[in-house]
Amino acid sequence: MRVFTKAYANPRARQRAQEHHRWIAHATPGIRIPAIVDARPTEIDFEYLQGRHGGPGDLLHLADLLGRQHAAAYAGALHAARMNEPHTTAGVSIAAFAQDRRERLHELLAANAIPQPLLTAEAVDAWIEEAADLPAAFYKDANPRNFLIVGTAITVVDFDSLTLAPFGYDLAKLIVTTAMTTGPLDEDIVQQALDTYNSHLNARNLSRCSARQFAAWTEFHHILTTPYMDTNGYCFGWHTVRPPWIIKQLLHHGGRSPHHGEPRRDEQPQRGLRDRARPRA
């Protein structure tokens, strides 16, 4: 049997990848992932699957998949999760959204390592605190290389990373890394991808990812992914290819602050179902 062997830095990293794989299979059973054939201390053999990586022409299909995956995971496994606290479900501990992420964002901004960031360190903190009151989906590094596509069939691969994240955060990673790989994206396609993703949240009566939230999450990924420029196929800095409406959301509308111009919290439900409170963990 032909396999794809993935090597890991140490046994703990391999164990985490196996746990993440098991959790994805449990939480989103309708999504195709490769089976694990065998595992050794620092390696996993996955079933070998044919396919090409995602590209700009696949964004709507991938946004549809991510929307289905995240809405299903929230309804079945993450409805009691607290965004900025680790959450254990199905025997797997999923890292909090703020865990390590806040420190890394601050580190990169303080080093002036990011060209033309639209968020300051203070704005990053404000968005992380805003996220604490949002329903939890998950982040699994939805860059275009982590999808294998044959016709209309999509397989999700790579299970190294898994954290809690707001709705739209992993879609933002897909948009940013696709643009960094292939160049500027059609602005209408990006907005259609967000609409397609949100359609699955609307179908379950969940609070959608707003354009302003999505714009902020793209800037998180700009900061966190820029250090990988000129590797992994990243040829274009996000600051050179970001759609103008992202800039408009974050600068022209005062969107550096998540609360600028938004309805009061008692007027805008944020956590989970619109018509009832979300249970606490």
CB crowding 153-163: b at 16 or more within 10 Å, else e: ebbbbbbebbb
Domain 51-267: which topology? Aminoglycoside 3'-phosphotransferase; Chain: A, domain 2 (3.90.1200)
Give percent of the chain with pLDDT exceeding 90. 88
Q: Which two tokens stand for residue 45?
A: 């053999």
* Boundaries of every domain in the chain: 51-267
State the Cα–Cα distance between residues 181 and 242, nearest whole angstrom: 13
| Whether residue 258 has pLDDT greater than 90 | no
pLDDT above 50 (res 267): no
pLDDT bucket at 266, cuts 50 / 70 / 90: very low
For the cut 50, the answer to whether the pLDDT of residue 265 exceeds it is no
How many Cβ atoms sit within 10 Å of the Cβ of residue 236? 14
The backbone torsions φ and ψ at residue 168, rounded to the nearest 5 degrees and listed phi first, read: 95, -15
Q: How many CA atoms lie within 13 A of 25 on its CB side?
A: 14
**What's the distance, CA 101 to chain centroid?**
13
**pLDDT at residue 180, as a whole number:** 98
Q: What percent of the chain has pLDDT over 70?
A: 90
pTM of the model: 0.90
